[in-house]
Structure 1
Amino acid sequence: ALRAAAEAWAVAPPEARAEYAEIGRKCSNAFLRHFVRPDRRLMANQTVGPDGQPVAVIPATPDAD
């Protein structure tokens, strides 16, 4: 979603860019809050479960964005 927001921002008319920038900001904040691990020298988890803990097996799902 972050990549999609950035690409949409790049081609959007000026009056619509603020909305895409806000979406990108929210995505970035969620990534930093839920996936980046300060205790692991800021390494990010690829997948976390409903409890917020890392999942041992990465699901075989293609990147949709």
Structure 2
Amino acid sequence: MKMSKTVYLVLAILFLLSFIDSLFDTGATHKLLLWEVNIWVYRLSRLAAAVLFMKFYLDMKNAEKQTLK
């Protein structure tokens, strides 16, 4: 199933906001899936997901530009 490029942009923004929100969390651990992990592992996973979705969005946008030329 092919997702719209807008979905990737929305997901990137949501994960970035989640990362920023986690910076204000004072706990030393956070639940990620089923495990308690260090807060920095959780933050890096959120940031990595945001960067990955943004990369997908930009790749799709650039590919669309190339086909229009």
* Normalised-by-shorter TM-score class: 0.3 to 0.5
1 or 2, which has the higher helix percentage? 2
Q: Which has the higher contact order (CA 8 A, sep 6+)?
A: 2
TM-score using structure 2 length: 0.40
Q: Which structure has greater strand proportion?
A: 2
